Structure 1
Amino acid sequence: MDNSQPLASELARLTGQAAGGFLTEENASKAVQSLSYVLRDSIPSAAGAGASIINARGRRESAGATDPVVLRADRLQYELGQGPCLSAWAEQRAIIIQDTRQETRWPKWIAAIADLPLRSVLSAPLTTEGRRIGAIKVYSPSPLVFDDHSVFLIERLANPAAVLLGNVRDREATQRLGLQLGEALANRDVISQAQGILIERMHLGSRAALDVMLASSREEGKPLQEVARGIVNGLADG
């Protein structure tokens, strides 16, 4: 039986929700976490699963896992900069480890997971519209459990998963940009207020008032906006 069909439909449903805005309150971590459980149930013999959003520099932005063992194995990949998940992302192809005790690739990662109950690993890249979103993976405590059919299943699930996570990542990027712009505008306003206070108190020009704050910023080792906020708050307290 093709186990991928109902789970692909579930991923398509989640993707539709994301496109329709129903995941607005969700962040990428929650979406990735939900995806991990879908993956675990989709691949025969998988005891655990994980999904990761990875940025252009190969660093994890968000990750989810079905259990602490998978989370630990994933974290070790990011810390060591090597492992099947990162290779699947970088090489844009499915990666299989038939038995970690016989594996010679990624020696640092293999040594680091030696005490974990992980013997078989299958990972696949997440790509949508030419963008490398991240990677998904499943694990098993038994060797030799993943085969070509397992690869077929995980690759079939990877496309809707990539659309889902790409949608969530784009939304989060927009939200972060909005927060950054809001913070920048707030900082600009407080700096302008502080300039006005110094102009009035010290009878300075606009540039001279800014120079005073910059000098204080250097001397105190504080960001300019923090110095400005201190001046504004000092006036309010006074």
Structure 2
Amino acid sequence: MLDHAEDGLSLSTMQTLLLESDDIQGFLQDFTDLLARQLSLGGPERWCAVSLLRDRKAATAASSSPQALALDELQNSFTDGPCMTAIRENAVIRVGDLRDDDRWPAYAAAELEQGIRAVLGLPFHLGDEAKAGLNVYSATPHDFDPATIETIVLHVEQASSALRLAVRQALHSDAARDLRAAMESRTEIDLAVGILMGRNRCSQEEAVEILKTASNHRNVKLRDLATDLIAS
């Protein structure tokens, strides 16, 4: 059982991890490392991994150790399991003992061969932008008591808050880059149109048509043609 007073993964810690990470994957890696260490204090070892769901297929994005990675990739090789179910149903999925659980027989048999007895799957709450889940593995049957589950849920909620911010920042950054590129392209095209107007003593509309016609005939993007014209 974990004591909340010993919890080193507060919301402020999550935000610090996010700020210090190079990207979302780096944040998830730091999160799984810290969480696995925290969950293993004073008790059996637990392994953590985060899977992202894309096109109805799960892929491991971060793991606390090579063993955690192997366990998670094993789960993701099946069409369903605790993580997929947790994401799909937006609920905590607890497997007390894989020997007694009949929800995913083939998956359970594969994990039992690796010495895993208990699994916990939890969804991250990221809105519509992305879908992800946390998996916690243990070799001890019935390892996750209600207090431990409550603490892990709190960690996931805090990580979800930080991740939602990271996803929004990434989306805004992409939009800003697209806007800057569009503005730069527009500026170069306008300059090229001005050059053509001066050279050919024509109107703006006629210069635009000249540029478009040349672009089509040469099979060159309008911006690239404008850049070449400015440089010539």
Q: Please show how residues 25-64 of structure 1 align to structure 2 within 5 Å.
A: 26-44=22-40, 45-52=44-51, 63-64=61-62
Match of 1:23 among 19, 26, 29: 19
Tell me the residue number matched to 2:213.
212
1:92 aligns with 2:90: yes
CA positional deviation for 1:144: 4.0
Q: Structure 1 length as normaliser, TM-score?
A: 0.68
Aligned AA for 2:23? N
Matched-pair contact (CA < 8 Å) for 1:89–1:124: yes
Tell me the residue number matched to 2:169.
171
Aligned AA for 2:212? D
Q: 1:212/1:123 Cα in 2 relative to 1: closer, same or farther (>3 Å)? A: same
User: What's the CA shift string for 1:49-93, capped at 9, x where partnerless?
Assistant: 1235668x7677993211234335545666766432232122121
Q: Please show how residues 72-87 of structure 1 align to structure 2 within 5 Å.
A: 72-74=70-72, 82-87=80-85
User: What's the CA shift string for 1:1-60, capped at 9, x where partnerless?
Assistant: 6334322x5322224547xxx8176421221111111221233534321235668x7677
Question: Which has the higher Rg, Structure 1 or Structure 2?
Answer: 2
CA positional deviation for 1:173: 2.3
Task: Return 58-67 or 119-128, whichever deviates more.
Answer: 58-67
Matched-pair contact (CA < 8 Å) for 2:188–2:223: yes
Task: Return 115-124 or 75-84, whichever deviates more.
Answer: 75-84
- RMSD (Å) for aligned C-alpha atoms: 4.2
Q: Structure 2 length as normaliser, TM-score?
A: 0.69
Tell me the residue number matched to 1:5.
5
Task: Return 86-95 or 118-127, whichever deviates more.
Answer: 118-127
Aligned AA for 1:11? S
Tell me the residue number matched to 1:233.
228
Q: 1:206/1:43 Cα in 2 relative to 1: closer, same or farther (>3 Å)? A: same
Unaligned runs of 5+ residues in structure 1 are none
CA distance in structure 2 between the aligned counterparts of 1:126 and 1:91, rounded to whole angstroms? 12
User: What's the CA shift string for 1:165-207, capped at 9, x where partnerless?
Assistant: 2222222222222222222223333444455566667878244
User: What's the CA shift string for 1:125-145, capped at 9, x where partnerless?
Assistant: 223799986332211245443
Aligned AA for 2:206? G
- SS of the residue corresponding to residue 123 of structure 1 reads strand
- SS of the residue corresponding to residue 19 of structure 2 reads coil
